[in-house]
Structure 1
Amino acid sequence: MADKAQFITDLNAKYNPSGEHIILGKGMLDGEIVTEVNVSIPLKTVNRHGLIAGATGTGKTKTLQVFVEQLSHAGIPTLVMDIKGDFSGIAEAGNENDNIKERYSKTGLPYSPQNFPVELMTISGAKGVKLRATVLEFGPILLSKILGLNDTQQSIMSIVFKYCDDKALPLVDLNDLKKVLQYVTDNPIGKKELADNYGSIAPASLGAILRSIVALEQQGAASFFGEPSFDVEDLLQTRDGKGVVNIFRVDDIQSKPNLFSTFILSLFAEIYMTFPEEGDSGKPKLVLF
């Protein structure tokens, strides 16, 4: 009994913050639930990096769902990468059953089935809001990294972007970029314009860049580049006081790493350029999983 009393005292001192917080569950001692102890996380610390780990079947997805639901309750929108395609169920209220009732009776936590506001997003042919970005928004450096170009090829990509900028040529999708590369490679006028203003470029290097673009297209990237571009401000929605859960469906692109990394890099770059640096605050404005 003394051990339990000390356990309650110690955990309440560590996991019972005074400010805004979310409750993830109860404490456990020797395999038994201790209802007097809430395991809580202060909202001001959710801007830290975290890891949910465990063997198959130990409840990683359920843990994430509970976390996201609590954040939504607190009015915090989230962006979740749905790897297995089983996360969107939070859009509908669940059904009570004996196991759920028993679990919540043991924890002493209130329970009522409810749904949460959800937006489904995709960069493939799956159902959901189609996310897109233009080649110009990526810029030569980020695009070169995605294509796996070497330093020489990256500098050539920068020259091509500068050429398009000076000529007011829009770079919306990969076809636009390929046409420009073909123009300055095969067309005598294009070759001369490039050489006179930016220096001579080896056709072999331009050809290597073109082949890298084709390889990226083979993973379905052509459908990602285009207009209208996605706006990261749209991720900050709330509905009826609940934060919107933005679910990015990636269950059908797991075998396409370049396409997935293309989106992630684009997302991070856009967030970095769009959102101001604020440091610690009472609670985050967006949480990514």
Structure 2
Amino acid sequence: MLLTDAFIEYLRYERNYSAGTVAYYKADIQDLQDFIEEKVGDLTPSEVDAELIREWVISLMDKGLLASTINRKLSSLRSYYKFLLRKGEVDSDPLRRVVAPKKKKVLPVFLKESDMDRVLDDTDFGEGFKGCRDRLVIEMFYVTGMRLAELIGLDDGDVDFSLSQIKVTGKRNKQRLIPFGEELKVMMSEYVNRRNEVAPVRSNAFFIRENGECLSRSFVTNLVKRTLSKVVAIKKRSPHVLRHTFATTMLNHDAKLVAIKELLGHESLATTEVYTHTTFEELKKVYNQAHPRA
């Protein structure tokens, strides 16, 4: 078995990474291997030095890749070489002498509460099953803060109406519980009733199309983009914007950062803290507009 294949097997079966995450690791390693083969020929991992990896990083920057993307690729390579070190396939890690490019801090894009009120209260989603489902999808993102993959991965058994909680499976197959209120409960119950009438034979997925099949990523992404376009003019109109909006709204209403972290399924509090910067930026805008000496 090739070293790369052994590493991929390790990620898939020992670390229990998702198929999407494993694909990123594999593509990142292949990217470096392609660069090396084109530049100097076929080399084993032990023959790759820091200088060669630096040249690869520079080539990625020349292609216009963002620092965050390059850092993700370097992170994949670091994990790969740590694996090889443990297996005794290499004597040293060349990544230790490679400095990652600095990332430009980009604040999350989110909608104001007034804009979300317009999205949910003034948008015509249509009648019947489709209108009920589409509105619930938008509401679910905003009220729970779940990720796109988590929403389309929901099964009927994940929604507990008696306890008013949803079990979601997040990154690295980690599960968490998200509570919901009476308003969302009523909306979900209405959707389930309409869904069961339209598609008595269907998959176990909670959200489905009229033919009973589960929703795809592109379907939900286009639905969110189309809906937000009717109200706001921001360039980024993705499901993740609604996740950011959920977190910012919670913070603006005095929710504790630790609680928001648990609801979002973040591993580190540092990831959640970016929303404090977001709300501070909003405060600065209000200050600059309102204070005569700002």
TM-score (norm 1): 0.23
Structure with a larger share of its residues in strand: 1
Which one has the largest radius of gyration? 1
The structure whose RCO (Cα within 8 Å, separation 6+) is larger is: 1
Structure with a larger share of its residues in helix: 2
